[in-house]
Amino acid sequence: MDRLLKKCRIRSSLARECLAEGLGVYVLILFGCGSVAQVTTSRNTKGEYLSINLGFALGATFGVYISKGVSGAHLNPAVSLSLCLLGRHPWIRLPFYIVSQFLGAFLAAATVHLQYSDAIVSFGGQEVSGPNGTAGIFATYPADYLSLGAGVLDQVIGTAALLVCVLAIGDQRNTPAPAGLEPVLVGAIVLVIGVSMGSNSGYAINPARDLGPRVYTYIAGWGEEVFRAGRCWWWVPVVATPLGAVVGSLLYELLIGAHFPDTDTLTEELVMANHHALQLEGKNPDGQIPKPANHYNPQELLERPS
């Protein structure tokens, strides 16, 4: 078996990263949309709204565990875009990541449909909206009271909150997550966004999570209504979530990240502190305080593998 696996090993780092992103998103959507399917088709007798929140949260957790060591576990085009803007991910890889994330979500939606096809038929078939609507198993749709403007704001705020928290737990200059627990905390972020911001439109906060399954439902029989429903809602998760990610990234960097002392400042403060201490002891500090040979660069610890 080891010999066979070695022959299957992919040498291209970009190809490995794309496979990791695709599988990570696949697991996220498999558990997330699977939980929606169970709650919906059972008419809330085998789960409830919190079950959906937990499904997406744990799906995100395991998706990150699967792909973090290979691709950095973006699992979200909005996250990939923000990291490119921050200079932590190469722009040339961005389109490949986005396509992989989209395909992972598309295939996961197909798997959920395969699993729950009989339940969907029994529930009411391939209706988009109404009491027997099943398209919401796969993609997000706005509540009846929600205007498009309010929906855009909802997605911007939710995705901005996601990025602020994700950047915080990965910032080695701040209070970073303990090694190995980052995926758990990412899942916790998804959970708290779901329980606090999910009722308006289902907290997509991820263009691939929404568009991939929506395209699948269009192909699989729900038809063009999946793009017309909710006053043509489909574009809001695609456009507003990257905007929210950029807003969240800028908020974190402008309010927190930009204000940590840089390497040179830390070195000078260390030298000056030692200089004053030696003066108090009556010693001549000149030439006695070498600067550290290895400079600590906190930015390096923030860069995801690429």
pLDDT of residue 273: 54
Domain 11-259, architecture per CATH: Up-down Bundle (1.20)
What whole-number distance in Å separates Cα of residue 138 and Cα of residue 134?
A: 8
The predicted pLDDT at position 292 comes to: 46
Beta carbons of 296 and 278 less than 8 angstroms apart: no
d(C-alpha 22, C-alpha 98), whole Å? 9
How many Å apart are CA 55 and CA 57, to the nearest integer? 6
Q: What per-residue confidence (pLDDT) applies to 262? A: 73
Local confidence pLDDT in tens for the 306 residues of the chain: 777 777 788 889 999 999 999 999 999 999 999 999 999 999 999 999 999 999 999 999 999 999 999 999 999 999 999 999 999 999 999 999 999 999 999 999 999 999 999 999 999 889 999 889 999 999 999 999 999 999 999 999 999 999 999 999 999 899 888 989 999 999 999 999 999 999 999 999 999 999 999 999 999 999 999 999 999 999 999 999 999 999 999 999 999 988 988 765 555 555 555 555 445 555 554 555 444 444 444 444 444 444
Using only C-alpha atoms, the chain has a radius of gyration, in whole angstroms, of 23
Answer yes or no: are the C-beta atoms of 161 and 248 closer than 8 Å.
yes
Domain boundaries, the chain: 11-259, 263-302
Helices (H), 124-223: 148-169, 182-197, 207-217
